[in-house]
Chains A and B, each alone.
Chain A
């Protein structure tokens, strides 16, 4: 079946604009994660969704970042008033859920803030 998909693959925006990044997890996976990969910082956890439970937002770097997951499937990561330090690759992963299962990653969205 299809893997995790993300869109857009690349996004260039101007400082101060809002952006939305989309993730389509593997069908049937109840857990969904967002990570950020910055130059020099490595991969960092942002947010975790599991089923209908409240999301774990402990990794979000500021209140400009938010995410939602509609119908337990597609997720959108929104960054408001983008800053240059938000430039990174944003990766989404899904797993079967409910435990420390293998996480399957999408190809990522490369965000560049000018």
Chain B
């Protein structure tokens, strides 16, 4: 059974810092890995999707890497801003139904 772990569970940083969120998964038979953002009381917003054959994806200040063989991914956020404060969720797609298996998330607080 696929298990996804995210470390740390919570992170508080001052504005302007670069930071890294970590995600690990136990079964490397995945199609892709997605990073999502969830704001309080809201649904999920997809940030980046990395195909299993890719090593990284970039979008603006966000860069996600994937090492499928070791079961790890990182989300790098450059020059953090208070508006980046949210819960960041990592999820892998696998199985015949392409369901997402999620980690429990990292709660990020960026202080002005």
Spell out A's residues near B (CB within 8 Å). Answer: 4, 31, 33, 35, 42-45, 48, 50, 56, 58-59, 91, 93, 95, 99-108, 110
Contacts and interface: CB of A to CB of B under 8 A. Distances in A.
B100 to A, nearest CB: 6
A43 B6 CA distance: 13
Given A100-B93, A102-B46, A45 B99 contact: yes
A43 B89 contact: yes
A48 B43 contact: no
Contact of A42 (B49, B93, B105): B105
30 contacts: A4-B43, A31-B98, A33-B99, A35-B100, A42-B105, A43-B89, A43-B100, A44-B102, A45-B97, A45-B101, A48-B97, A48-B98, A56-B97, A56-B99, A91-B43, A91-B44, A93-B100, A99-B31, A100-B31, A101-B98, A102-B34, A102-B46, A103-B46, A103-B100, A105-B43, A105-B44, A105-B45, A105-B46, A107-B42, A108-B43
Nearest to A58: B97
Nearest to A104: B46
Interface of B: 31-32, 34, 36, 41-46, 49, 89, 91, 93, 96-105
A42 B104 contact: yes
Nearest to A33: B99
Contacts of B36: 105
Chief secondary structure at chain B's binding surface? strand
Given A48-B97, A93-B100, A100-B31, 13 more contacts: A43-B91, A43-B100, A56-B97, A58-B97, A59-B99, A91-B43, A91-B44, A95-B98, A99-B31, A99-B98, A100-B32, A103-B34, A108-B42
